[in-house]
Amino acid sequence: MNPPVSIISGMVHNHELPSLLSPEAVQQVQDFHQSISMYKKTPLIELPELARKLGINNIFVKDESHRFRLNSFKSLGATYAMAKIIAAYINMDEHHLDYDFLTSADVKNKIKDLVFITATDGNHGKGVAWAASVFGCQAIVFMPKGSQDCRADAIRAINDTLVKITDLNYDDTVRLAYETAEKNGYYLIQDTGFEGYEDVPNAITQGYTTMVWEAISQLSDFGIAKPTHVFLQAGVGSMAGSVLGYLAHCYQKNPPITTIVEPSTVACIYKSVQVGNGQPQIIAGNPETIMAGLNCGEPNPLTWPILRDFASFYASCPDWVTELGMKTLANPIETDGKIISGESGAVGLGLLISLCEDEQLDAFKQELQLNPASTVLLFSTEGDTDPENYAAIINKQEKNPILID
């Protein structure tokens, strides 16, 4: 029998819109990303047949496996944060960043000795390594205990990046990266903040808004003014906070019903809301989940207030939920498009299917107001970043009773 899904509703707080994520504040982010020669919008895939089977109006999935050919959205944050650091280093106006200028021979000669360091479960480190390589700099990447060799090898393959798998959990690996940066004069590129380290993670969070800006524009092409529901997976919560904060600005009078989705073994956002004192809570130790990119026990304190104040619901999901999402996207119904979505990318869809198909979750479905008028937006934030494990999950023979035929 599958372990259960758990959902709780949001807390009541004063909702002060995060100025950092207003459309005006992040216009320069979109301008910078569009200046990158290989930039193009990632696909927004419509799944009308699956929506019909689930009894809702429509489902749209933003497929980030196509982002800069890196199989993940993470490069959006890394490139923007790194560009801001480089601009400050060469005394350039950081409000008018241009990719061609920052990658020119003259600038590369000035910054060739810069070293960027980060901690990662895989995708963020790959994004940092790639960004460092295009700017002509060096990168060092630390990974937590239990990281898959294939993820480390994918990072090493970018400009022969130095990668070390530690014997620490993710959050302690972040602290090790910070200490190493301080000791050696490196630049830490981390997507979670702490006291005294805010500018870079805030820039990374802003960088992720390009993804949701694109999605809103693409929904408009389908004739959709706004989604009624959004499901956002969270590790430290930077991506979820970025998307939610931007949506809060765009739809102030009638925001989508947004659910934050986490692995049940390491649901630190869920736990923080459940405790109810308004403060982020920590899950310590070495929790295990196949959702490697979401295996983070400490919320980003910079985006936690956004998740606390603007999300509608919070879900704690066992691994079978994301497996359900992965299998469904890999085996689309009738004319729906196929999406290759990794373990950290498909949990939102797995939860949506479960809510619509499992009678035991019907009360949650009603509370979330999922009905024939619902249009759901999901973000598949990675492709098959662990190809072996992806194939093993997709090819599992046992049938999940919720999986639609």
Number of domains in the chain: 2
User: Which residue of the set 62, 74, 271, 365 is catalytic?
Assistant: 74
Joined together, the tokens standing for residue 392 give 């093993």
Residue % of the chain over a pLDDT of 70: 97
Strand partners, 9: 313
Residue 400 within any structural domain of the chain? no
For residue 35, being part of any structural domain is answered with yes
Q: In terms of domains, do 221 and 255 share one?
A: yes
- Mean pLDDT, all residues of the chain: 95
Mean pLDDT of 53-76: 98
Span 48-73, mean pLDDT? Answer: 98
pLDDT tens digit sequence for 196-245: 999 999 999 999 999 999 999 999 999 999 999 999 999 999 999 999 99
Does residue 383 form part of some domain? yes
Q: Considering only CA atoms, which of 251, 263, 301 is closest in space to residue 281? A: 301
190-199 pLDDT, tens digit each: 999 999 999 9
Q: What is the pLDDT of residues 28-44, one digit of tens each?
A: 999 999 999 999 999 99
Q: Is residue 287 part of a domain?
A: yes
By the 8 A CB rule, do 151 and 122 touch?
Answer: yes
Tell me whether residue 121 is one of the annotated catalytic residues. yes
Q: Tens digit of pLDDT for each residue in 108-147?
A: 999 999 999 999 999 999 999 999 999 999 999 999 999 9
Cα diameter, the chain: 63
Range of the domain at 289: 6-72+209-394
Domain C-terminal end among 190, 222, 256: 190
- What is the reported pLDDT for 85? 98
Q: Which residues of 216-227 are buried (b: 16+ CB within 10 A; e: fewer)?
A: bebbeeeebebb
Please check whether residues 67 and 82 belong to one and the same domain.
Answer: no
| pLDDT tops 70 at residue 252 | yes
| pLDDT for residue 14 | 61
Judge if 33 and 108 occupy the same domain: no
| Same-domain check for residues 48 and 137 | no
Query: Which pLDDT belongs to residue 284?
Result: 93
Q: Tokens at residue 234, please?
A: 């969270």
pLDDT in tens, 353-369: 999 999 999 999 999 99
Residue 404 within any structural domain of the chain: no
Cα angle for residues 15, 19, 25 (degrees, 5° grid): 150
pLDDT for the residue numbered 64? 98
What are the helix (H) ranges across 92-184? 99-102, 105-111, 123-135, 149-156, 170-184
Q: Domain check: are 265 and 125 in the same one?
A: no
Q: What is the mean pLDDT of residues 65-86?
A: 98
Q: What is this structure's pTM? A: 0.96
Residue 166 belongs to a domain: yes
Q: Which of 160, 190, 220 is the last residue of a domain?
A: 190
Catalytic residue among 63, 84, 121, 336: 121
Residue 1 has pLDDT above 70, yes or no: no
Same domain, yes or no: 286 and 390: yes
Q: State the CATH number of the domain containing residue 30.
A: 3.40.50.1100
Same domain for 41 and 23? Answer: yes
Q: In what order do the strands lie in the sheet with 6-9?
A: 6-9, 313-317, 257-263, 229-233, 375-380, 58-63, 44-46
Assess if residue 34 is contained within a domain.
yes
Cα–chain-centroid distance for residue 126? 14
Residues 84 and 120 in one domain: yes
Query: Do 64 and 80 lie in a common domain?
Result: no
Same structural domain for residues 98 and 146?
yes
Residue 195 in domain: no
pLDDT at 402: 54
The answer on 299 and 271 residing in a single domain is yes
**How confident is residue 401, by pLDDT bands cut at 50, 70 and 90?**
very low
60 and 110 in one domain? no
State which amino acid sits at residue 220: S
| 74 catalytically annotated | yes
